[in-house]
Amino acid sequence: MSLDTDRFMSTLATTRPPLTDLTEQERMFQEAVRDFAAAEIAPRVMEMDEAAQIDPGLIPQLFEMGLMAIEIPEQYGGTGADFFTSILVVEELAKVDPSVSVLVDVQNTLVINAVIRWANDEQKSRYLPRLAADTVGAYALSEAGSGSDAFALACRATPDGDDWILDGHKLWITSGKEAGIYIVFATVDPDAGYKGITAFFVEREFDGFSVGKKEDKLGIRASSTTELVFENVRVPGANVLGEVGMGYKTAIETLNEGRIGIGAQMIGLAQGALDHTVRYVQEREQFGRAIGSFQGVQFQLAEMATEIEAARLLVYNAARLKDAGQPFVTPAAMAKLYASEVAQRVASQCIDLHGGYGFTREYPVEKLYRDAKIGTIYEGTSNMQKQTIAKALMR
């Protein structure tokens, strides 16, 4: 059974803005993204989920809206906004479809973030206009043997004159199918451990590079998650991002910021599930009255709303700290940890409040429940976030 689009659109129309105060400019931008998501993304959600791919016609619209280049300076064709604006966008899109949200999230909080921070002027001039105009980026760190142990990399970069030769595989790469530019991490010296890690710009057209298997996933199915294959891929020396042997620093610091983006995705998802449920319980009748009139149901809604707002405050605080140049690593870990766990609890509770309907694909909470699971896994598992928090406590 497929989603009732009219019901879905009607629910979106009742979506309430966050309780957290925003500036007038931020609220206007948020509302513009909300309107776009309702008009252009919502009608495609279930079809994209079933097809396990993002509608190709949607991606150019994301670029036209400036949502794929939020922090890119205007001189390179970007929006020129701050990191917090990226977080607002990711949250709003996730209310409608976390799959589209993570495409935008990775583009902004990982790929563009890394380019702005670590690329030299020539590389910025070469890649930022493309990332702003029409090219999706991907961030390629994970491998079969390196998950939480992120720097146990087998992908090898061997010097060859002024160039480098890349050999190996990457796994679980978000947006791997759609991307045209990849930031790839490889080791130039396995004996050096993390100090051998180096980041490279790899373009889709490079000889020997290919996109491999696309994963068949539980949730965020429309977001492509793929293998990348490197077979004697020649990468120009000018494509080294940052310094040779300093890729670990690029990876760590970029992921610290990316975790705030995942937190934003999770609070958006949770808010979307709650919004659908608030509407449902006011329509669904049992024992001669709307189930939303029962105190037991109202208390559950109140608890979910409170948890979501608490998670939102953590995420917003981490983003504001990042923009202010203040320490944010521990707040980011807290935000990602709590928001991802709240998203799972809220999505599950919303299924319960929908009853049997919640277990079907007729209502959108089933999809949001599936989408929520990844939040405690990617860009650092919950256990890794707890480790970061605990280390900060015991300094």
DSSP code string of 123-147: HHHHHHHHHHHT--EEEE--BTTBS
Say which residues have a Cβ less than 8 Å from residue 116's Cβ, sequence separation at least 6: 71, 72, 73, 124, 128
- List the helix and strand counts (H, then E) for the chain: 13, 10
Of the candidate ranges 37-41, 151-155, 238-242, 286-290, the one whose mean pLDDT is the lowest: 151-155
- Look up residue 27 and give its two tokens: 């609220």
Report residue 217's pLDDT band, with 50, 70 and 90 as the boundaries.
Answer: very high
What mean pLDDT comes out for the span 239-252? 96
CATH class of the domain comprising 249-393 = mainly alpha
Find which of 3-7, 104-108, 151-155 is predicted with most confidence, using mean pLDDT: 104-108
pLDDT at res. 2: 44
Query: Does the pLDDT value for residue 266 go beyond 90?
Result: yes
Q: Tell me the C-alpha distance between 219 and 52, whole Å.
A: 10
Count Cα neighbours of 56 within 13 Å in the Cβ-side half-sphere.
Answer: 3
Report residue 395's pLDDT band, with 50, 70 and 90 as the boundaries.
Answer: confident
Report residue 20's pLDDT band, with 50, 70 and 90 as the boundaries.
Answer: low
SS3 156: strand
What mean pLDDT comes out for the span 384-391? 97
Angle of the 5-13 helix axis to the 247-283 helix axis, nearest 10: 100
Q: What is the mean pLDDT of the chain?
A: 94
Q: Tell me the C-alpha distance between 300 and 348, whole Å.
A: 12
Query: Does the pLDDT value for residue 220 go beyond 70?
Result: yes
pLDDT at res. 149: 82
pLDDT at res. 9: 46
pLDDT at res. 151: 78
Q: Which CATH number describes the domain made up of 138-248?
A: 2.40.110.10
Query: Does the pLDDT value for residue 18 go beyond 80?
Result: no
C-alpha angle with apex 52: 51 to 57, nearest 5 degrees? 75
pLDDT at res. 170: 98
Q: Where are the domains of the chain?
A: 5-135, 138-248, 249-393
pTM: 0.93
Report residue 234's pLDDT band, with 50, 70 and 90 as the boundaries.
Answer: very high
Please tell me which residue in 71, 257, 341, 379 is annotated as part of the active site.
379
Query: Does the pLDDT value for residue 203 go beyond 90?
Result: yes
Longest dimension (CA), the chain: 79
Tens-digit pLDDT profile for residues 249-263: 999 999 999 999 999
Kindly report the length of the chain. Answer: 395
pLDDT at res. 23: 86
Query: Does the pLDDT value for residue 296 go beyond 70?
Result: yes
Q: Which CATH number describes the domain made up of 5-135?
A: 1.10.540.10
Report residue 22's pLDDT band, with 50, 70 and 90 as the boundaries.
Answer: confident
SS3 351: helix
Query: Does the pLDDT value for residue 1 go beyond 50?
Result: no
Report residue 15's pLDDT band, with 50, 70 and 90 as the boundaries.
Answer: very low
**Is-catalytic flag, 26?**
no
Angle of the 247-283 helix axis to the 365-372 helix axis, nearest 10: 150
Higher pLDDT, 2 or 226: 226
Tens-digit pLDDT profile for residues 108-152: 999 999 999 999 999 999 999 999 999 999 999 999 988 788 778
